[in-house]
Amino acid sequence: MRNLRETPHPYRPICGTCPELTLSKKRQAYRGATTIKASVRVSPKAAGQASAYLDGKKKRTVSVTSGSASFRLSKTLKRGTHKIRVVFTPATPSKYLGSKSKTIAFKVVKK
């Protein structure tokens, strides 16, 4: 990925695609009934792929359509604090830059 602070391509926005990652909650119970829902919003509304990295390891890739996608985290994540981020890869790289979201921490606790 290119550093977004480099001189921009004349047809690409300066901020790339600016993905925003949000979590439905900051903690979940190990093997609990409900899991954390992760939502990805891309601005401008571009299509492509969002790869989720949990604790630095690629765990999942979801399709982004009309600038948004969502997925649920596993019920069986190990207890403790985890970090998640997404990397967006646009479907039209000639029009948009790929970019990374901020990293968000969350906890998995005992039931």
pLDDT block averages, 10 residues each, the chain of length 111: 48 62 94 92 90 96 94 94 95 87 94 79
58 bridge partner residues? 53
- In sequence order, which residues have a C-beta less than 8 Å from that of residue 52 and are 6 or more positions away? 38, 58, 59, 60, 61, 62, 71, 84, 85, 86
Let me know if domain 19-109 sits in CATH 2.60.40.10: yes
Q: Which pTM was predicted?
A: 0.81
> What pLDDT is stored for residue 58 in this prediction?
96
Q: Quote the tokens at residue 105.
A: 């921490």
